[in-house]
Amino acid sequence: MDAICVENITKAYGKGQSPAVDGISFSVGAGELFGLIGPDGAGKTTLFRILITLLLPDAGHATVGGLDIVREYQKIRSTVGYMPGKFSLYTDLTVEENLHFFASVFNARVSDNYSLIRDLYEQIKPFKDRRAGKLSGGMKQKLALCCALIHRPTVLFLDEPTTGVDPVSRKEFWDMLGRLRSEGITILVSTPYMDEAARCDRIALIQQGHILSVDTPQGLRAGYPHPLYAVGGAPMPALLQRLAGHPDVVSSYAFGEWAHAAGTTTLGEGVLQAYLRDAGLPEAIVQATDATIEDCFMDLMKRN
Amino acid sequence: MLFFLLQKEFKQIFRNRTILAVVLVMPLIQLIVLPLAADYEVKNINLCIVDNDRSPEAQRLAQQLTASGYFRLTGYTASYRDAQALLEADRADVVLTIPPHFGRALVRDGQQTLSLAVNAINGVKAGLGAAYITTILQTYNNAIRVQWIQPGRFPAAPIVKVAPVYWYNPFLNYRVFMVPGILAVLVTMIGGFLSALNIVQEKEVGTIEQINVSPIKKHYFILGKLLPFWVLGNVVFTLGLLVARVVYGIVPMGSIPLLYGFVTLYLLAILGLGLLISTYCETQQQAMLITFFFMMIFILLGGLFTPLDSMPTWARAVAYASPVTHLIAVMRMIILKGSTAQDVLPAAAIVATFALILNVWAIVNYRKTS
């Protein structure tokens, strides 16, 4: 049975507004770590709020843990964990008090499921008597995750958990998600960072309320339809300008220090190198490269 | 479940120094300072006398006026022009003009006319100033009659004399009258503001969403919010009663359980209002402004400063549609007059209706799903 099943969910805020979520369908298997990847304003948070029963959809059906989000919303609430993008614990309660409060809200005790959060909680335990509002960003995230997990939910919803968190804490956070998955908890996580997508079992790319693609990260990258070249060694503006001028280049864009150029099959490494030399950039270096999630996203966005 | 919610609320309240200060210090300061300041007795009215006569009779009149203690003689001029200048310079509130030959005409004709000019920028001062002068003139009048009318020669002119007795507040002490009213306003402010702001704060921080996705029932959450402020309201009320007793010597004449019973009922209504406001607001600023709007109307129309009976009919209708009006009335009834449960029953019924309507409305409007 699928842990989350979404069918044609649509939601618009107010009449005449373009929908924030437009006919979205996908499903998440039990125990899967599923990523919802898309830029800000793509509709990720709206979809989350619908699935955790804070928002009613205009149309469509969805189930979480086999329970209907509209009819059986009360049952869903005791089985899911939700961590909103914005830190929303009681800042005037201490770390420990927050944890105990959220456990009791779900009729649970901290000791019941302590094993689940031990690794995480041990890291913030030295600060257990500190008010939650006085924690650093990374520790706040850890505490929020602890509070979302303390009743051992079967499905965990994490809305942009790593936005504004330093790279080391981000890595630790994703390591933790991997461990939770091995405990059998289904996780739906949204993020605007493409590099995090690779750590999910499957990902859905979402843009302007539509799902562009649902696949495994490997499948998505393997399905990239064009030969892709990384071009560097020359000033970026000049590179991008020349690349856009080549008839066989389908798309080109900056990718960190390099420019990525996707071309038709007739475009080869040598062809591109020669073209750039003739165009006045003899120092340019061209290398064939594998597509990343971001390349796939750029390609899908362009096609839709 | 409710226990955990209450435990959390009280922890938060006791950690918030501002709330504690508001709950503990505000009642003391307000009850000690306000009744002393909010005094209706107007003293030190600046009086200017334009004496065109300079007779012994005029002198005696001036003496009586200044000896009353209400007036301060700021000018004793011979022309109205000078007095007008004082009036314009705001150095005279009342100008009394004694006409020429006042004394002689009084003796000869048995009557005289005085003119009174009042600076009415401050309505209360003007009205009371004029009233005081009239009263003093009457006394002066009577004194002259007794002196001049020889007993037995003419039948004495009939005089109707009024001897008022002030029930429940024999010395017309304004503090006795103000303290229960201010106490009512305090309870209202604590209940209304704190409850409205508290729930909106959870909205602002986002914690309400965490609660909403939990299995907590709506009515438990609301009860968890109402109870702490109900307790705080009673704490403030108790403190206020103690201040009234220690500082002003006001001991409730009526039954204290009845007083608490009514305050409890009233707190339900005012907490319901706070709750209702919070369900319509997204930020604490909005909640603050809306609550303030209601409080202003409630307090100004509540009969604390101006008697309800002197209001126009429409204003009286608005005043009766405010629970504060009823609390102020009942506080005065029970504390000063010793009214019984039967006397306050109509007010209790109205306040209970408010409590019911406001709370049901708030619960319906507090949606867990939007």
ipTM score of the complex? Answer: 0.77
Q: What is the DSSP string of B244-313?
A: HHHHH----SS-HHHHHHHHHHHHHHHHHHHHHHHHH-SSHHHHHHHHHHHHHHHHHTTTSSS-GGGS-H
First and final CA of chain A: distance in angstroms? Answer: 31
Same domain flag for A289 and A163? no
Per-residue DSSP letter, B336: I
Instruction: Output the pLDDT for position A204.
Output: 92
Distance from C-alpha of A292 to C-alpha of A221, rounded to nearest angstrom: 6
Q: What is the DSSP letter of A226?
A: S
User: Which of B1, B15, B369 is nearest residue A54 as measured by Cβ atoms?
Assistant: B369
| pLDDT of the residue at A267 | 79
Q: What is the pLDDT of residues B93-119, one digit of tens each?
A: 888 888 888 877 777 777 778 888 888
Which of A178, A193, A221 is a domain's end point?
A221
User: Could you tell me if A50 and A192 lie in one domain?
Assistant: yes
From chain B, which residues contact A within 8 Å (Cβ)? 1, 4, 8, 11-12, 15-16, 205-207, 209-216, 368-370
Residue B149 to residues B59, B109, B143, B155, Cα–Cα distance (Å): 21, 13, 10, 9
A-B contacts (CB, under 8 Å): 67
Q: Which residues of A touch B16 (CB under 8 A)?
A: 92
Per-residue pLDDT, B104 = 79
The number of folded domains in chain A is 2
CA–CA separation, B21 vs A276, rounded Å?
74
Domain boundary among A201, A221, A241: A221
Closest Cβ opposite residue A92 in set B4, B15, B214 = B15
Q: Say if residue B155's pLDDT is above 70.
A: no
Q: Is the CB of residue A262 less than 8 Å from the CB of residue A250?
A: yes
Rg for chain B (alpha carbons), in Å? 28
B183: CB partners within 8 A, 6+ apart: B27, B31, B237, B240, B241, B244, B331
Query: Which of the two residues, B141 and B157, has the higher pLDDT score?
Result: B141
What residues pair up with A158 in beta bridges, in sequence order? A83, A189
A134 and A260 co-located in one domain: no
pLDDT top residue among A153 and B56: A153
**Predicted pLDDT of residue B150:** 60
pLDDT on residue B353 = 94
B56 compared with B148, residue with greater pLDDT? B56
The confidence score (pLDDT) of residue B81 equals 86
- A84: chain B residues, CB-CB within 8 Å: 206, 209-210
The confidence band for B153, taking pLDDT boundaries of 50, 70 and 90, is low
Which residues of A are less than 8 Å from B1 in CB distance?
A: 104-105, 107
Coil, strand, or helix at residue A261? strand
DSSP sequence for B62-115: HHHHHHTSSEEEEEEESSHHHHHHHHHTTS-SEEEEEPTTHHHHHHHHS----E
Average pLDDT of the residues in B257-276: 93
**A13–B contact, CB cutoff 8 A:** no
Q: How far is CA B221 from the centre of its chain?
A: 36
Contact: A97, B8; criterion CB under 8 Å: yes
CB–CB contact B213 A77 (8 Å): yes
Q: A98: domain range?
A: 2-221
Q: Which residues contact A26 (CB under 8 A, 6 or more apart)?
A: A6, A204, A211, A214
Confidence grade of residue B154 (pLDDT, cut at 50, 70, 90): low
Residues near A90 by beta carbon (within 8 Å), at least 6 away in sequence:
A97, A98, A101, A132, B8, B12, B205, B207
Q: What is the mean pLDDT of residues B7-21?
A: 88
For A293, phi then psi, to 5°, come to: -60, -40
Closest CA to A100 of A128, A138, A141: A128
Digit-coded pLDDT (tens) for B306-362: 778 888 888 888 888 889 999 999 988 898 888 888 888 999 999 999 999 998 888
Residue whose C-alpha is closest to residue A38's, from A54, A26, A55, A56: A26
Q: In this structure, how many other beta carbons lie within 10 angstroms of the beta carbon of residue A7?
A: 14
Query: Residue B60 above 90 pLDDT?
Result: no
Q: Are A224 and A293 in contact (CB under 8 A)?
A: no
Dihedral sign, Cα of residue B64, residue B67, residue B71, residue B76: positive
- The alpha carbon of B143 is separated from its chain's Cα centroid by a whole number of angstroms, namely 37
B3: nearest CA in chain A? A104
Place of tokens 């099943």: A5
Centre a 10 Å sphere on the Cβ of residue B117 and count the other Cβ atoms it contains.
18
pLDDT at B170: 67
- Closest approach of chain B CAs to the CA of A192, in angstroms? 21
pLDDT digits (tens, 9 = 90+) for B168-184: 766 667 777 788 888 88
Cross-chain residue pair A102–B209, CB shorter than 8 Å:
no
- Structural Rg of chain A based on CA atoms: 22
- Rounded CA-CA distance B271/A297 in Å is 52
Do residues A255 and A142 share a domain? no
Residue ranges, chain A, pLDDT below 70: none
The conformation of residue B158, written as its DSSP 8-state character, comes to P
Are residues A244 and A209 both part of a single domain?
A: no
Report residue A230 as tokens: 């990384």
Q: Are residues A54 and A113 in the same domain?
A: yes
Do B370 and A82 lie within an 8 Å CB cutoff?
no
- Distance from C-alpha of A250 to C-alpha of A267, rounded to nearest angstrom: 10
- In this structure, the answer to whether residues A98 and A150 fall within a common structural domain is yes
* Ordered structural domains, chain B, with CATH: 2-38+174-365 (no CATH), 45-148 (3.40.1710.10)
Q: Please, which residues bridge with residue A214 across strands?
A: A204
Q: Are residues A232 and A174 in the same domain?
A: no
Q: Residues B125, B128, B133, CA angle at the centre, nearest 5°?
A: 120
Token representation of residue A33: 């770590």
Q: What is the pLDDT of residue B172?
A: 64
Residue A78 maps to which CATH number?
3.40.50.300
Which residue has better confidence, B220 or B41?
B220
Q: What is the mean pLDDT of chain B?
A: 84
C-alpha B107/C-alpha B115 separation (Å) is 19
pLDDT, position B3:
87
E strands in chain A: 2-11, 21-29, 33-37, 59-64, 67-68, 80-83, 155-159, 186-191, 202-207, 210-215, 228-232, 249-255, 258-263, 285-288
Token pair belonging to B60 = 């005696």
Give the pLDDT mean for B4-13: 90
Q: Which of A165, A189, A221 is the last residue of a domain?
A: A221
Q: Domain check: are A66 and A201 in the same one?
A: yes
Residues of A in contact with B210 (CB under 8 A): 82, 84, 88-89, 102, 147
Say if residue B224's pLDDT is above 70. Answer: yes
Half-sphere exposure of B284 (CA within 13 A, CB side): 11
Substitution target in B6, B211, B214 with the highest count of A β-carbons within 10 Å is B214
- What residue has token string 């996203």? A297
CATH number, domain containing residue A253: 3.30.70.100
Please report the pLDDT score of residue A130 as a whole number: 93
Subunit contact A105:B211, Cβ cutoff 8 A: yes
Q: Is the pLDDT of residue B156 over 60?
A: no
- Are residue A185 and residue A293 in the same domain, yes or no? no
- In a shared domain, residues A6 and A145: yes
Q: With an 8 Å Cβ cutoff, are B369 and A73 in contact?
A: yes
Confirm or reject contact between A74 and chain B (CB < 8 A): yes
pLDDT at A95: 94
Is A203 found in the same domain as A299? no
Nearest CB to B4; choose among A89, A90, A105: A105
